[in-house]
């Protein structure tokens, strides 16, 4: 079957998923022709087809070989992959009640399907019996076989029948709970608006934020002239600039209480059940806790290793945050106010301190960071590192008018893949920023080039105006584009190893490493240009921006690290009782680490989608910090070479990190690039926390 083919048998004509090949530019999904009613029949037909393929593989009577078992598994399920990739990309980025209803129906069905494969005794027997000494296997084939065996064992393939049945039940229920968690969170985020009903409500807001609030109001139906929503790109600058302390408090309370508003969208009961089920599954698999289960297959290897890193960073970050708090409180008092600084005040007074110390105004920076300019900077960096070219395509299918599409090619013109950018917040999109794939790179089923998407939630500017990014927004764009490059540059044969399918505490290395180039004067001088005049950022402003890079890092590190510690603590609980009092557990965990009252966790449990809407980051939120140890050390390789675009260093980076997928163990991959394992010292210097 060639690239783009994924025939779904027994599906009625007229359903786009019945077509073995989509006759669209670059094989993009024909979004305009796919309707909600097409998904369930397509899922059912694809599931039946995959079940039949698995039955043939498991029921073979010949001695098992890599080709007829593992490679056959890798060729199976293409139709299901195609339906699921389109469907789940849309439920995250452009959903509606019809898609949400389908999601609630199909999630447990897919979970049961996956369990049936990994708990199939005949299939596991064939995989276990493959003898690499009897057939010549390449290095990649050895890796695929090892990963399949690990996956099957971790899914419960070695358990007895009763335990297998319970594992399957847990998987189906977890799929239901994760889906409901995410939908509840989107409902809370979409339903809240803070109307700003006059000049007094707009006090302190710079023009870019007033314009963004007007656009948000228009998008929400125009009942108010200006609104603040729970999109991070609106609420965070509102907390920075608004001089209305009462409105800051109201907005902040809504922001931190997403998922615990009471009523049908309250996530606290779901969390208790999720934690209990994860603990039960870990015990069935022979692990002390879910955290021990999760980290056994990571670069860290154990919860103790992850917690040691978190503690090593927490101590200096906590000291610095306390010092920052005292300086902010002093500003409050100097201004004649008599209140104690609270969490909804921190960003506002931190901005005042930054202006005083660095003469730096956030709105002044934004003028030099229009969205198009930051996109160009991200593309130019990839071109200088990896020889890539980006050509925008206009006459191609897209799932929303906001989506932009680029053809990505190598220096010789050969196609690398397609990159989709979906940058603006809207009510149909979940919050946050992420990378996903409509199609992943592989060579087993023909030459399959990837279709990668980055989804953001930036505030939209009024018609005819440039959308301006904060420096944090620009960093987010570079971060997600680093993930995109990990998918685009993948160079593997087997789908199982493609792109970002790596250890959970290694997957953030390509994204966080890419952020470093945004902070380089060489990049900013070229691309940070005024959105109206096109003039480059003045050297004085550039210098102030770079000098302030570690400003407020105590706060930033504490709010992140607290979330990671609570995540790990929650999943180290072996009991995982149904009666878990989520806010009480969270409060006690924070009390034990002396969390400053003026700082909240970056993600409180009821809206912690990373760890409860799915399982990728559960007992794994530490991975951002673990990967930051890697990325800070990795960028030093370019500094040591004397050129941030050094060709030899970039070639090693592409070979061992961006292009390698999961061809190697994470430690082996990093050592291949750097020649050694990393040190924590560059991370502490990067965050300004070194002694």
Residue with tokens 């299901």: 80
344 CB burial (10 A radius; 0-12, 13-18, 19+): buried
Tokens describing residue 207 = 């023009």
**Nearest to residue 469, comparing CAs of 230, 254, 209?**
209
- Quote the tokens at residue 263: 């009523």
Residue 538: both structure tokens together: 């003045």
- Tell me how far apart the alpha carbons of residues 374 and 524 are, in angstroms, rounded to a whole number: 9
Q: Alpha carbon of 105 to those of 108, 187, 477: distances in Å? A: 7, 18, 33
Asked if 281 and 167 touch (Cβ cutoff 8 Å), the reply is yes
Cβ atoms 643, 525 nearer than 8 A: no
What is the number of H-type helices and E-type strands within the chain?
Answer: 27, 7
Beta partners for 455?
422, 434
Spell out the SS3 assignment of 15-65: CHHHCCCCCCHHHCCCHHHCCHHHHHHHHHHHHHHHHHHHHHHHCCCCCCC
Rounded to an integer, what distance in angstroms lies between the CA atom of residue 491 and that of residue 345?
Answer: 48
Q: What dihedral do alpha carbons 181, 186, 187, 192 form, nearest 10°?
A: 130
Q: Helix crossing, 232-241 with 207-219: angle to 10°?
A: 140
Catalytic: 480? yes
Token couple for 343: 């969490």
Token readout for 355 is 């202006």
- 465 closest CA partner among 360, 366, 365, 375: 366
**What's the token pair of residue 329?**
């409180």
DSSP assignment letter at 438? E
The one catalytic residue among 74, 480, 598, 615: 480
Q: In what order do the strands lie in the sheet with 434-439?
A: 389-393, 404-409, 415-424, 451-458, 434-439
- Residue 265: both structure tokens together: 């969208």
Q: How far apart are CA 285 and CA 164, in angstroms?
A: 10
CB 657 within 8 A of CB 674: no
Q: Name the residues annotated as catalytic.
A: 480
């Amino acid at each position: 079957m060639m690239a783009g083919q994924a025939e779904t048998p027994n599906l009625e004509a007229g359903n786009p998923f019945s077509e073995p090949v989509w006759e669209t530019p670059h094989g993009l999904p024909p979004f305009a022709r796919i309707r909600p009613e097409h998904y369930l029949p397509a899922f059912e037909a694809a599931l039946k087809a995959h079940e039949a393929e698995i039955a043939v593989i498991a029921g073979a009577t010949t001695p098992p070989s890599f080709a007829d078992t593992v490679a056959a598994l890798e060729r199976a399920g293409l139709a299901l992959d195609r339906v699921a990739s389109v469907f789940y990309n849309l439920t995250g980025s452009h959903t509606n009640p019809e898609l949400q209803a389908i999601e609630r129906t199909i999630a447990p069905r897919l979970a049961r399907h996956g369990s049936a494969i990994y708990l199939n005794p005949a299939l596991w027997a064939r995989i276990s019996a493959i003898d690499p000494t009897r057939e010549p296997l390449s290095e990649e084939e050895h890796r695929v076989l090892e990963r399949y065996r690990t996956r099957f064992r971790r899914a419960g393939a070695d358990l007895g029948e009763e335990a297998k049945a319970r594992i399957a039940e847990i998987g189906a229920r977890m799929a239901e709970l994760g889906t409901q968690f995410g939908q509840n969170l989107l409902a809370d985020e979409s339903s809240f608006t803070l109307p700003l009903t006059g000049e007094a409500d707009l006090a302190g807001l710079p023009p870019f934020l007033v314009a963004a609030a007007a656009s948000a109001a228009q998008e929400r139906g125009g009942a108010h002239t200006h609104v603040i929503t729970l999109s991070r790109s609106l609420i965070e600058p509102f907390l920075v600039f608004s001089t209305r302390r009462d409105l800051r408090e109201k907005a902040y309370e809504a922001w931190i209480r997403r998922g615990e508003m009471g009523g049908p969208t309250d996530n606290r009961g779901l969390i208790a059940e999720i934690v209990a089920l994860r603990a039960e599954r870990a015990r069935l698999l022979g692990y002390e806790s879910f955290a021990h289960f999760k980290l056994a297959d990571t670069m860290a290897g154990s919860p103790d290793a992850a917690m040691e890193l978190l503690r090593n960073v927490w101590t200096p970050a906590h000291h610095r945050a306390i010092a920052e708090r005292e300086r902010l409180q002093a500003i409050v008092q100097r201004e004649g106010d008599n209140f104690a600084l609270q969490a909804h005040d921190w960003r506002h007074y931190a901005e005042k301190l930054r202006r005083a110390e660095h003469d730096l105004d956030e709105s002044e920076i934004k003028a030099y960071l229009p969205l198009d300019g930051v996109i160009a900077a991200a593309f130019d960096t990839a071109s200088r590192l990896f020889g890539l070219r980006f050509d925008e395509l206009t006459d191609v299918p897209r799932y929303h008018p906001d989506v932009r599409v680029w053809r990505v090619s190598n220096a010789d013109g050969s196609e690398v893949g397609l990159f989709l950018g979906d940058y603006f917040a809207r009510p149909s999109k979940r919050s946050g920023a992420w990378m996903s794939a409509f199609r992943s790179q592989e060579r087993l089923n023909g030459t399959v080039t990837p279709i990668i998407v980055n989804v953001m939630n930036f505030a939209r500017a009024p018609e005819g105006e440039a959308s301006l990014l904060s420096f944090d927004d620009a960093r987010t764009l570079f971060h997600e584009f680093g993930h995109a490059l990990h998918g685009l540059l993948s160079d593997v044969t087997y789908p199982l190893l493609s792109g970002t399918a790596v250890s959970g505490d290694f997957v953030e290395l390509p994204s966080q490493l890419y952020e470093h180039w945004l902070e380089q004067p060489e990049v900013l001088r070229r691309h940070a240009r005024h959105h109206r005049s096109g003039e480059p950022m003045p050297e004085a402003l550039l210098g102030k921006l770079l000098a302030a890079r570690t400003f407020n890092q105590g706060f930033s590190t504490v709010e992140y690290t607290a979330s990671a510690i609570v995540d790990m603590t929650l999943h180290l609980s072996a009991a995982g009782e149904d009666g878990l009092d989520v806010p009480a557990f969270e409060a006690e965990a924070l009390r034990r680490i002396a969390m400053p009252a003026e700082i909240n966790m970056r993600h409180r449990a009821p809206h912690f989608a990373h760890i409860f809407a799915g399982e990728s980051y559960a007992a794994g939120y530490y991975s951002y910090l673990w990967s930051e140890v890697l990325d800070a050390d990795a960028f030093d390789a370019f500094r040591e070479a004397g050129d941030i675009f050094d060709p030899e260093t970039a070639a090693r980076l592409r070979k061992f990190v961006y292009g390698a997928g999961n061809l190697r163990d994470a430690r082996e991959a990093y050592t291949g690039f750097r020649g050694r394992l990393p040190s924590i010292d560059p991370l502490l210097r990067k965050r300004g926390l070194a002694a």
